[in-house]
Amino acid sequence: MLFFDAGLLAPGLAALAWLGRQGTRAVAAVVIIGVSVPALGVVKPLLPASVFLLLVLTFLRVDPRAIHARLARPGLVIAASIWVMLAQPVLLIGLYWLVGFKHQSPVLYLALLLQAASIPMMSSPAIAAIMGLDAALVLTALVGCTLLIALSAPMFVRVFADGAISLSPVDLGLTLFAMLAGAALIANIIRRLAGTDFIARRRAELDGLSVLLLLVFCCALMHDVAARSLADPLLAIGLFALAFGVGIAMLALTVMVFSPAGWRDAFALGLMTSQRNTGLMLAAAGSVLPDLVWFYYAMAQFPIYFAPFLLDPLARRINSRV
């Protein structure tokens, strides 16, 4: 058994616990800090590490028995993975084509296409846990999505992007698998050393640490948003509105599709699918992507971080009925 709450560590742990108890308010605050304090962009080199550590914390936060229960009856997980990575992208890309994005703004169409084809954010299980939703469902569905993206994302790019960019399915698949497997292994080692009871008692501290890692991620991606918005406010407002609209559409569509499985599961999956990991696409093809794509993806972080706060009352109401 490990003991970390003695001596000088006690004030730090108390601060983490307080931060963790702020829940969705703290998640919303990180995006404001990331935009308001551009100097924090110096943490950009820490972005990959922050994503990996968020995964470790999620595996720690989720009861292994809940994961095993989901895997023992994998129907919902399989359906969610197919919906998130195949069915919903087809619907969204078709809608973008119908409304004329492809011809009126090819660059914005490319940004929306890549967003639709992206895997959910690696931090989505952590956000689900902070909201009191079923993080085990989100985590197992994320694994399913990871198994599909190596085929689905390059396919969508090849079919719909007219050769604008190319993605390596091998690189995508290996990178994501290594992150998930490595995080699961480290979390399992920590759980064995610390003990399940100890981790359960430190739930608030783990949530607080997740918030700090989300802050690192947000500052790394959004440090120049304020300057770019001031340079072209109309474009910024338009991209902001578009990002919120796309996020709401993704969430609402998923909730409607999975409502027969229960509102709590449907809401958790809806939140997950609306939080697309556009950062992965930037990492895979960022050097050839136009500046507008980068700006849109930065603006798309606002609905990701604000949605948990705005939807928290609904999540509480759904959780209370379970």
Dump pLDDT digits (tens) for 261-314.
Answer: 999 999 999 999 999 988 767 666 655 678 888 889 889 989 988 888 888 888
- 195 phi-psi bin (left φ>0, alpha ψ -120 to 50, beta other): left
At residue 99, what are phi and psi to the nearest 5 degrees? -80, -5
CB–CB of 308/27 below 8 Å?
Answer: yes
Which of 58-72, 90-104, 167-181 shows the lowest mean pLDDT across its residues? 167-181
Q: Which of the pair, 250 or 38, is modelled with greater confidence?
A: 250
The alpha-helical segments, DSSP class H, found in the chain are: 9-21, 24-36, 47-61, 64-72, 75-82, 88-98, 101-104, 106-117, 124-130, 135-160, 169-194, 196-201, 203-222, 225-231, 233-258, 263-274, 278-285, 291-299, 301-320
pLDDT at 43: 84
What mean pLDDT is predicted for residues 172-198? 83
Show me where the domains of the chain are located: 40-312
Q: Which is nearest to 286 in space by CA: 160, 119, 110?
A: 110
- 214 phi-psi bin (left φ>0, alpha ψ -120 to 50, beta other): alpha
pLDDT at 3: 45
- Return the CATH fold of 40-312: Na+/H+ antiporter like fold (1.20.1530)
Which segment, 23-27, 219-223, 245-249, 313-317, is predicted with the most confidence on average? 245-249
Confidence of residue 322 (pLDDT cuts 50, 70, 90): low
Please tell me the pTM assigned to this model.
0.79
The fraction of the chain above a pLDDT of 90, given in percent, is 25
Average pLDDT, the chain: 84
pLDDT at 268: 93
Confidence of residue 76 (pLDDT cuts 50, 70, 90): very high
pLDDT at 167: 62
Residue 239 has pLDDT above 90, yes or no: yes
CB–CB of 44/220 below 8 Å?
Answer: yes
Residue 172 has pLDDT above 70, yes or no: no
Residue 12 has pLDDT above 70, yes or no: yes
The fraction of the chain above a pLDDT of 70, given in percent, is 90
Confidence of residue 7 (pLDDT cuts 50, 70, 90): low
Residue 233 has pLDDT above 80, yes or no: yes
Q: How many CB atoms lie within 10 A of CB 192?
A: 9
What mean pLDDT is predicted for residues 188-196? 89
pLDDT at 165: 65
Residue 192 has pLDDT above 80, yes or no: yes
pLDDT at 207: 86
pLDDT at 164: 61
Which segment, 55-59, 89-93, 204-208, 226-230, is predicted with the most confidence on average? 89-93
pLDDT at 4: 47
Which tens digits make up the pLDDT trace of 129-167?
888 889 899 989 988 888 888 778 778 877 887 766 666
Residue 89 has pLDDT above 90, yes or no: yes
